[in-house]
């Protein structure tokens, strides 16, 4: 009998059984004259390189008629191979579906220039809190994040070189990604779970995934995690002073993640709630300084706009 592993080559037997035809779609094995159950009337061996490379260990000498035990081995091996192929296909389809979902959920991207470099920031569409159904405001890029990034870029580079930076309520992650561009050795972007895919996307598309981690962290939780040791050198926040009721959870998280030497940089649009929030932090022992450098003048809005942005430097309590 002649046997070949090339596609479209017929494989014949001189005995009472016929092995079948090896084609580009697989090796067809009709089981003629073999006392096996009726539902085993055919076995498909997919023509894949990993399988064919080990065919000699599975198939009997093709010049001899396989016995029932050999057919059982062939069936078991091919069945396992097909199961693995099915799982692999399912995983590929699931990954493709997740990728398409991400493409549909994420916007085309907003190009932002920081420190002479361009970052592509994707904003999410209709990302909601699963508990309340409300749209999460961190889904899109806020002006305070832009201003914090500009402020960091205008500061001396050594402020962030080789530092560990943690961003709380990262949203789209622009300030944290800016820190990575400015030389931070490690950046951790944190926010609620529904916003994490967008953060990972923004880190990846800007080529910063090797230095930027994305982790879930809601205010009032997380600090005991040993991965926070040692504490970060810098904590970044933008537009977090909007609800005094949230300050208790924020203060608790800051106390947990900060060390004595940690410095907190927070940019905020000037609004009525800011002073109330800062007063609550001060009551918890945080020292707040309004950054009055020349950079502050660069953070003002264009003529005709009423909004104003300020960067606050905050030091955690020293127990």
Closest CA to 166 of 81, 247, 62, 256: 256
Long-range contacts of 27-36 (CB under 8 A, 24+ apart): 29/74, 31/71, 34/66, 34/68, 34/71, 35/68, 36/68, 36/71, 36/72, 36/75
DSSP 139: G
So where are the chain's domains? Answer: 9-104, 110-315
Residue 196 reports pLDDT greater than 70: yes
Q: Could you report the per-residue pLDDT of 24-35, keeping only the tens digit for each? A: 334 444 444 444
What's the whole-number mean pLDDT along residues 253-262? 93
SS3 277: helix
The confidence band for 272, taking pLDDT boundaries of 50, 70 and 90, is confident
CATH 3.40.50.150 describes domain 110-315: yes
List, for residues 105-137, the tens digit of each pLDDT value. 556 688 999 988 999 998 876 776 666 666 666
Answer yes or no: are the C-beta atoms of 177 and 119 closer than 8 Å: yes
Q: Angle at the Cα of 265 (from 262 to 271), degrees rounded to 5?
A: 140
Chain centroid to Cα 61, Å, comes to 50
Confidence at residue 302, expressed as pLDDT on a 0 to 100 scale = 45
Joined tokens for residue 69: 């035990």
pTM of the model: 0.64
Cα 66 to chain centroid distance, Å, stands at 51
CA distances from 47 to 40, 41, 74, 298, 313 (A): 19, 19, 14, 65, 64
Give the closest residue to 242 by CA, choosing from 208, 211, 266. 266
How many alpha carbons lie under 13 Å from residue 268 in its C-beta half-sphere?
25
Side-chain-side CA neighbours of residue 43 (13 Å): 23
What's the chain's length in residues?
319
Written in H, E and C, the secondary structure of 222-276 is: CCCCHHHCCCCCEEEEECCCCCHHHHHHHHHHHHHHCCCCCEEEEEEECCHHHHH
264 - beta bridge partners? Answer: 235, 314
The pLDDT of 287-299, averaged and rounded, is 60
Integer Cα distance of 107 and 123 in angstroms: 5
> Would you say residue 53 has pLDDT above 50?
no
Q: Give residue 91's pLDDT.
A: 64
**Cα separation of 165 and 255, whole Å?**
16
Q: What is the mean pLDDT of the chain?
A: 73
């Amino acid at each position: 009998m002649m046997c070949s592993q090339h596609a479209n080559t017929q494989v014949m037997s001189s005995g009472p059984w016929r092995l079948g035809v090896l084609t580009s779609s697989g090796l067809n094995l009709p089981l003629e004259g073999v006392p096996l159950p009726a539902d085993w009337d055919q076995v498909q061996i997919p023509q894949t390189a990993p399988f064919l490379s080990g065919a000699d260990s599975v198939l009997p000498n093709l010049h001899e008629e396989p016995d029932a035990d050999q057919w059982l081995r062939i069936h078991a091996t091919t069945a396992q191979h097909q199961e693995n192929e099915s799982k692999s296909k399912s995983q590929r389809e699931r990954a493709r579906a997740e990728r398409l979902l991400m493409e549909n959920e994420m916007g085309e991207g907003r190009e932002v220039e920081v420190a002479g470099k361009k970052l592509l920031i994707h904003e999410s569409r209709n990302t909601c809190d699963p508990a309340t159904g409300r749209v999460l405001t961190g889904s899109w890029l806020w002006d305070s994040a832009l201003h914090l990034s500009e402020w960091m870029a205008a500061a001396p580079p050594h402020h962030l070189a080789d530092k560990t930076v943690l961003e709380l309520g990262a949203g789209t992650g622009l300030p944290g990604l800016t820190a990575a561009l400015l030389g931070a050795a490690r950046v951790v972007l944190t926010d609620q779970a529904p916003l994490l895919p967008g953060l990972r996307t923004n880190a990846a598309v800007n080529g910063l995934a090797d230095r930027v981690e994305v982790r879930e962290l809601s205010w009032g939780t997380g600090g005991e995690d040993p991965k926070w040791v040692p504490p970060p050198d810098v904590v970044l926040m933008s537009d977090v002073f909007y609800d005094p009721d949230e300050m208790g959870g924020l203060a608790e998280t800051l106390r947990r993640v900060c060390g004595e030497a940690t410095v907190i940089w927070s940019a905020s649009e000037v609004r009525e709630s800011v002073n109330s929030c800062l007063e609550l932090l001060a009551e918890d022992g945080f020292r707040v300084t309004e950054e009055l450098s020349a950079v502050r003048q660069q953070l003002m809005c264009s003529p005709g706009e009423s909004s104003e942005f300020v960067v606050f430097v905050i030091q955690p309590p020293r127990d």
